[in-house]
Structure 1
Amino acid sequence: MQVDGEMYAVAGPAVSPGPIHLIVEQFPAHLPEGLAVWRDGGRLRSTDWQIDLTRAAVYAPRLPGPSELQLAAPVLRAMRERLEIPEDLSRYWEPVRRAVAAGELTAARELLEGRGGGLTPTGDDVLAGILLVHAWRGDDPGELAEVAHAAATTNLSRSFLAWAARGQSLAPVHDLVDRAAAGDRFGFDRAAATVSAIGGSSGVALLWGIGLAATATGGGAAITRWRAGAGPPVRSRP
């Protein structure tokens, strides 16, 4: 829902925290399409329910810095090599790869924006992963924000992209990078499985964007130990 220019995704406690997620103990019983919702002081209200925002903890994940991203990059590249190209983006994939490798984010946005299926289109999820990596490596925040806000897509997707441009995503995404940088294989495998299971294809597409941008970012750490086993249980698209 969009209220006073802010986007909220209201969800129950089973959903991972994220920058636009409003996690509630009990989900409102009545949320019909087009329901009027407004801010009333510290409350989010409709005609039938209200949510007290004053007791809500603000989501503020720790963002990886350039040095941590450098450590994580080889692991993220190895992860990417196990992913299948999203079917609904296959015809655009090679130009997307070239644009990301060259650091041409506007070109990547134009190729990806609004493409594919899902509540957040597949292309937008890939673009979000790309923006996250560029934010973590310290690229100009204003330029990243311009790429996100210019995306020709839904308000929901654009909101996710705007937060990605600030370096924020769902909690398991941050855990994924932290575990990769720390050399925690078990934790990385678990985080990769969690992210890949998000939505019908959103999580895998997000991993694709992170992997593509991490490849362009570089990083020279050895990855032999990550390839020794089966690797993270990343779910590919059918």
Structure 2
Amino acid sequence: MTAVMREPVALPTRQRPRPPLAGPARSAASVQPGAARTAGPVIPGAAGTGLRHLLDAPRVPARVIAAFPSAVYLETRAPVEPRVLAVATSDAVRLPNAVVIAAGSRDRPLEGIDEGAEAWAGDGHVEVGPLRVRVRRWWDPSPALGPLSLARLDRGVRDLEAAVTGSRFGLAGHPDPPLLAARCAAGDLAGAVEAAERIVGLGPGLTPSGDDVLAGLLVALRTLSSSVQHGGTAGWLADWLGAAVTADADTRTTTLAASLLHCAAAGQASAEVAAVLRAVAGHEQTAPAARRLLAAGHTSGADLAFGLLAGCRAVLALALAARKDDRATA
């Protein structure tokens, strides 16, 4: 496997016991890892670097927890997060825990793979149904923005606000997302944690709206705090808020959403989220990047955008406050 130059550093997390796998995956656990498997031709894939601990290790059993024409999601018995990985077509949303194959959904490469099917991951491969993917490349899901001035960040925030105005937010009218945004901008850790914990797992679907908001917020805090001067307070907030919402996420939300929260706490994002952050930093056009994000899922894109905007505003407010304090004591 080819190494990448920059490895993301995951936050330490408190691990909790997982419920035993059921159905086909339970029977698969009794099969020796070296047992022969019947699969179709090996096809190449590109995996997010956050999956190296899983895919470089000896293979472990998994089960399909959701299957769609453009992606299948596998829950594994890996000892650390992300425990859920996606096998995605080239035209799917590229989640940070995805192995992307060189085929579009129109080619139907995932046809015949159903929820509950047994799977394997490890030894550089993912096997599910007739599909056998060999990881040939790695991609880094941690956005790298480079140095970013506060003036540029201010312009980026205003551009993003304009681009997402009127989008369909999954938690519209709920008091806690705006309260969370305000507490983060004020640097109020206790208040932010209280609001965040109330929206973990809030909403329907594989990735509830509350978790998408938190993921966008955490990625923005983590990424931008290391790019701007005076970003230390935002980085501190990202550390503590990330630890709080991931501590028991596996008991409060879906397994996929819990894994994505762990990814976000480590600064790992989908390609669509990363593009919006690059636009905020002035490296891409904001409107096209925002459109691609807002097109994701039913409300997932808008929920992520809400969290991103909250995180961007918080980094800006906290950095400006820190700069003012520095000047006052100079």
| TM-score category, normalised to shorter length | 0.7 to 0.9
Residue 19 to residue 211, structure 1, CA distance change in 2 (3 Å): same
**Aligned: 1:96 with 2:158:** no
Choose between structure 1 and 2: higher helix proportion.
1
Question: What SS class does the counterpart of residue 67 from structure 1 fall into?
Answer: coil
TM-score, length of structure 1 as denominator length:
0.78
Question: What SS class does the counterpart of residue 23 from structure 1 fall into?
Answer: strand
Q: Give 1:180's aligned residue.
A: 280
User: Which has more radius of gyration?
Assistant: 2
Q: How many angstroms does 1:157 deviate by? A: 0.7
Residue 71 to residue 148, structure 1, CA distance change in 2 (3 Å): farther
Q: How many angstroms does 1:218 deviate by? A: 1.8
Choose between structure 1 and 2: higher strand proportion.
2
Contact 1:127–1:209 (8 Å) recurs in 2 = yes
Letter in 2 for 1:90: G
Aligned-residue RMSD, C-alpha: 2.8
Contact 1:74–1:215 (8 Å) recurs in 2 = no
Higher relative contact order (CA 8 A, sep 6+): 1
Contact 1:129–1:208 (8 Å) recurs in 2 = yes
Letter in 1 for 2:296: I
**Aligned: 1:2 with 2:75:** yes
Identity of aligned residues (%): 26
Contact 1:195–1:204 (8 Å) recurs in 2 = yes
Q: Deviations over 1:194-226 (max 9, x none)?
A: 0111111111111101111222222699xxxxx
Q: What aligned pairs does 1:1-238 form with structure 2 within 5 A after superposition? A: 1-5=74-78, 6-26=83-103, 27-46=109-128, 48-53=130-135, 55-64=136-145, 67=148, 71-80=152-161, 82-83=165-166, 86=169, 88-92=171-175, 93-103=177-187, 104=189, 105-136=192-223, 137-138=225-226, 139-140=235-236, 142-150=239-247, 151=249, 152-182=252-282, 187-218=285-316
Q: Deviations over 1:29-79 (max 9, x none)?
A: 2222211112352222245432212x1333344423573676234422453
Contact 1:114–1:123 (8 Å) recurs in 2 = yes
TM-score, length of structure 2 as denominator length:
0.58
Q: Give 1:227's aligned residue.
A: none
Question: What SS class does the counterpart of residue 148 from structure 2 fall into?
Answer: helix
Q: How many angstroms does 1:178 deviate by? A: 1.7
Number of residue pairs aligned between Structure 1 and Structure 2: 218
List runs of 5+ in structure 1 lacking aligned partners.
222-238
Letter in 1 for 2:152: L
